[in-house]
Amino acid sequence: MRLGRLTPERTLFLICDVQERFRPAIHKFPAVVSGSLRLLATARELSIPAIVTEQYPKGLGRTVAELDTACLAETGGGVFEKTTFSMLADAAVSGAITGAGRTSLVIAGLEAHVCVLQSVLDLVGALPDVEVHLCVDAVSSGSPTDRLTGLRRAERAGAFLTTTEAVMMELIRSKEHPSFKAISALIKASKLPASEALEPVA
């Protein structure tokens, strides 16, 4: 039985296509940005690599300004352009993911039923030793129906549904962890009102 336990040394964060042109078209887009910010801040705090992808940025714009991607190289990550929907279908992104040597992949971003789902299907299908975790509070689509459909199919394919807070707390495990105060402060500072948060997955 797979438990999907997370540890910093085995984890890689993937932020999928949180781009400017999607801002007006995505259901509760600010929640995706907030959750992605949490993961990137956690990556810096715990020295976890983070890979950010951009789907056809010439037409869809770059990653939103709120996400500071300039320092990703410090953790062994980076920003990658792609035109394929699946992250794994792009040679550069696939090489970065497999080259990181991590077996727990935590995903946030867009869209749940397209790029995120196709990435999950390819990752689960091609990398049997890898466990994929989807942060449901930081993954969305143009409509709630598409979001829910994508998340449910991804779960049936073998992904673990989780939240950014659950990921962050599992990575430190204890109040005795050196980063407990920093992680706790980050969670409190980035807490969204219920009206702005993405809906739970029933």
CA 157 to chain centre: 17
Q: What is the pTM of this model?
A: 0.96
* Residue-wise pLDDT tens digits, 139-172: 999 999 999 999 999 999 999 999 999 999 999 9
Q: What is the DSSP letter of 200?
A: P
Q: In this model, does residue 48 exceed pLDDT 90?
A: yes
* Residue-wise pLDDT tens digits, 56-96: 999 999 999 999 777 677 777 899 999 999 999 999 999 99
pLDDT given at position 72: 75
Q: In this model, does residue 28 exceed pLDDT 90?
A: yes
Q: Is the dihedral of CA 126, 164, 99, 78 positive or negative?
A: positive
* Percent of residues, the chain, with pLDDT higher than 90: 93
Interatomic CA distance for residues 148 and 139, integer angstroms: 10
Interatomic CA distance for residues 32 and 109, integer angstroms: 6
Give the three-state DSSP class for 55.
Answer: strand
**CATH 3.30.450.20 corresponds to the domain 8-189:** no
Instruction: Taking residues 125-148, report their average pLDDT.
Output: 96
pLDDT given at position 2: 84
Looking at every residue in the chain, the average pLDDT score rounds to: 95
Residues catalogued as catalytic: 17, 82, 115
Q: In this model, does residue 1 exceed pLDDT 80?
A: no
